[in-house]
Every structure is written in structure tokens, then in C-alpha cells.
């Protein structure tokens, strides 16, 4: 018999950038949270402020191995998400996406838990359709240097929907577009953290390509709100659902905005574009608006100000 009515929730990858913010939100909403992380790209520092909370538990564990716990909901965020991290050990990246999904789906099947999959806009590859809708199948290189992440996440989606069809599992799948905010890793190679850290150090800001390639930047608080709404949606609604900011910005404009916020001597320098780097990335979020009224609220300038403030403190340690 259950002693507590609090929801028991697992967040894999819970010590990462997104996972730590999700753990915070779940605790605020009254859940018991088990944060699972192997600290490959996440860090204890991201959740250190939660350790004194009696409803929070931190477990060092690799999701490529089974986990035997009792749970009501599972948020599967475990996987390095930046090119620098996921290309460092590409075989392990694929294992984390595929074996991790199998293990978490098995746990959900045994406990009859609702399970969320953090998928990615990278399932669309270098898209021929703009903006990207959920019914677009993508244009992905299956043997390139980014394939360990792109194809790993695509396979994870396949597993989720097969478990749904074969075992009637209650799944929720979200395709996350570029997200930024406090607790990003300073050396993760993502464009927002790269530009801010370079500007704060007074280094030149490195733009790959001509800077005209586009991205859509969603502040982390907006994304977490969307994830929570998706998880609370009716059982028959599985997704996949795009989540990101539909406002499109060129990489050059982002760099100029960061420079205007930080100031200093940095100037823009240009280097060759990495292999398979997509030229355009913009979500169509019509489905999220229609299903649960979600859309981002925090404009890029405001979100960047908060992120710059975080990195100022981080680099001053």
C-alpha cells in the first residue's frame, strides 16, 4: 500500500542542463523526484541546491543498464546533446539513446508508468521542408559524424511507438529544438554558450560558415513548461510534438546580440562549416498550440540577459 500520495518520478539525465531544471519544476509541483545520471555531460553542481530537499534523490547510474525501482512517471532525457559531447564517444551515444530507451520502456511496462522521451529536432536532419512539421520524415545522413545522435534519437522514437502499439504503453514524445539558459555547459560547443563564453573572456567570437544559417532559440523555462503540459495531456495523445521557439534568427544576428549585451573587445571571425551542419532549423509549433495552448513567452533578448548573468557568475568562480 502506498504511504504517500506524492507522484514518484524519475528523470534520467537529471543532472544535465534541461534535466536539472525539470527536477526543480517537478519538486515545485509536489513530486518525489529520483534524478538519475552517470555524469558524462551532466554535473552534480546543477542539482547541488536540491540535495537538501527530502523529496529529491540523486542516483549515479548509466541507463544502458536496467534500473529496478518503483515509479509513476519517467522522463527520459539521458543522452549527451551537444556535438562535442556526443561525438566524443559515438558508440556510447548510440547505446545511450537505444539501450537507454529499451531499459526505460521496460521499466515503464513493468510499473505501468507514463513515459516521456526527449527527442530532438535533429531527427529532421538538414531539412528540405521549412519550417519543420511533425509529419516531415527528415533528411538525415545515416553514416555521418552526427549520425550517432541523430539516428540514435530516431531509433528511440521508433522504440517508443512500437512499445505503444505492441504493449499499449502510455508514451509522450517531444522533439526539442535549440534551447538555452542557465546551467548550460560552458564547453558544450553549442552556439549560445560558445558566443557568451567567448565574449565574456574577450576572445573573438567564432562563426562557422557565413553566419546566415538559421536557428530558433527557446529559453529553458518555456521548454520545461511545454514538457509539463505534454506530460499532463490525455493518454491517447502521444506526439511527437515539436517544442521550440518559432522565431528564426541567423547565427550572425545571435552573435551580434550577444556582443551588444556583453560588450568588450571581441570581434566576429569566420571558419568552415562543420560536416552535416543543418542550414535551417525552425519548428512549426501549431500542434503544441492546438493540443495544450503552449508557446514560448520569453523573448531572445530577455533570455540571453539571464544566461549572460549566469555565465558571468560561473566564470568568476
Q: All 3 cell numbers of residue 305?
A: 540577459
149 is an active site residue:
yes
DSSP state of 224: H
Q: pLDDT value at position 2?
A: 60
Residue 233 has pLDDT above 90, yes or no: yes
CATH code of the region 8-183+218-246+278-297: 3.40.50.720
Cα 6 to Cα 14, 55, 119, 202: the distances in Å are 19, 9, 27, 48
Residue 1 has pLDDT above 60, yes or no: no
Q: pLDDT value at position 136?
A: 94
Residue 53 has pLDDT above 90, yes or no: yes
Cα 199 to Cα 15, 194, 255: the distances in Å are 26, 8, 9
Question: Percentage of the chain surpassing pLDDT 70?
Answer: 97
Q: What is the CA radius of gyration of the chain?
A: 19
> What is the chain's mean pLDDT, rounded?
93
Strands 249-250 and 214-215: antiparallel
Give the lowest-confidence range in 80-84, 89-93, 111-115, 273-277.
273-277
**Distance between CA 94 and CA 87 in Å, rounded?**
10
Cα 252 to Cα 27, 77, 111, 298, 308: the distances in Å are 38, 30, 48, 21, 18
Q: All 3 cell numbers of residue 106?
A: 521496460
**Distance between CA 126 and CA 213 in Å, rounded?**
11
Q: Which of 149, 163, 180, 219 is catalytic?
A: 149
Q: All 3 cell numbers of residue 189?
A: 560547443
The ranges assigned to domains in the chain are 8-183+218-246+278-297
Average pLDDT over residues 52-79: 97
Residue with cell 544559417: 213
Question: Percentage of the chain surpassing pLDDT 90?
Answer: 77
Over residues 129-162, the pLDDT tens digits come to 889 999 999 999 999 999 998 999 999 999 999 9
Among 97, 40, 39, 37, residue whose Cα is nearest residue 61: 37
**Distance between CA 83 and CA 10 in Å, rounded?**
26
Q: Looking only at Cα atoms, what is the longest distance across the chain?
A: 63
- Alpha helix segments (H runs only) across the chain: 17-28, 83-88, 90-111, 147-167, 191-201, 220-231, 251-262, 286-292, 300-315
Those residues whose C-beta lies under 8 Å from the C-beta of residue 89, and which sit 6 or more positions away, are none
Instruction: For CA atoms 192, 120, 294, 230, give the dihedral sign.
Output: negative
Residue 275 has pLDDT above 70, yes or no: no
Average pLDDT over residues 80-108: 90
Amino acid at each position: 500500500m502506498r504511504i504517500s500520495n506524492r507522484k514518484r518520478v524519475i528523470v534520467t539525465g537529471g543532472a544535465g542542463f534541461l534535466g536539472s531544471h525539470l527536477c526543480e519544476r517537478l519538486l515545485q509541483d509536489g513530486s518525489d523526484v529520483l534524478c538519475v545520471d552517470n555524469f558524462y555531460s551532466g554535473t552534480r553542481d546543477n542539482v547541488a541546491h536540491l540535495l537538501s530537499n527530502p523529496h529529491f534523490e540523486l542516483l549515479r547510474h548509466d541507463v544502458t543498464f536496467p534500473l529496478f525501482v518503483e515509479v509513476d512517471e519517467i522522463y527520459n532525457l539521458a543522452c549527451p546533446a551537444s556535438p562535442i559531447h556526443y561525438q566524443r564517444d559515438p558508440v556510447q551515444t548510440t547505446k545511450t539513446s537505444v539501450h537507454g530507451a529499451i531499459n526505460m520502456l521496460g521499466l515503464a511496462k513493468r510499473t505501468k508508468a507514463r513515459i516521456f522521451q526527449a527527442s530532438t529536432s535533429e531527427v529532421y536532419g538538414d531539412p528540405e521542408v521549412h519550417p519543420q512539421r511533425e509529419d516531415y520524415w527528415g533528411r538525415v545522413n545515416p553514416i555521418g559524424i552526427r549520425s550517432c545522435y541523430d539516428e540514435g534519437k530516431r531509433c528511440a522514437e521508433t522504440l517508443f511507438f512500437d512499445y505503444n502499439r505492441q504493449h499499449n504503453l502510455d508514451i509522450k514524445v517531444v522533439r526539442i529544438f535549440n534551447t538555452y539558459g542557465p546551467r548550460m555547459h560552458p564547453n558544450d560547443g553549442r552556439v549560445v554558450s560558445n558566443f557568451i563564453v567567448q565574449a565574456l573572456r574577450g576572445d573573438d567570437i567564432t562563426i562557422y560558415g557565413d553566419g546566415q544559417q538559421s536557428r530558433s532559440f527557446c529559453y529553458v523555462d518555456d521548454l520545461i513548461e511545454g514538457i509539463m503540459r505534454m506530460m499532463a495531456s490525455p493518454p491517447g495523445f502521444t506526439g511527437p510534438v515539436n517544442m521550440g521557439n518559432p522565431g528564426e534568427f541567423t547565427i550572425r544576428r545571435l552573435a551580434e546580440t550577444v556582443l551588444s549585451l556583453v560588450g568588450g573587445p571581441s570581434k566576429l571571425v569566420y571558419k568552415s562549416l562543420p560536416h552535416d551542419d543543418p542550414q535551417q532549423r525552425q519548428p512549426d509549433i501549431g500542434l503544441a498550440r492546438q493540443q495544450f495552448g503552449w508557446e514560448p513567452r520569453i523573448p531572445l533578448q530577455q533570455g540571453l540577459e539571464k544566461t549572460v548573468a549566469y555565465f558571468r557568475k560561473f566564470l568568476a568562480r
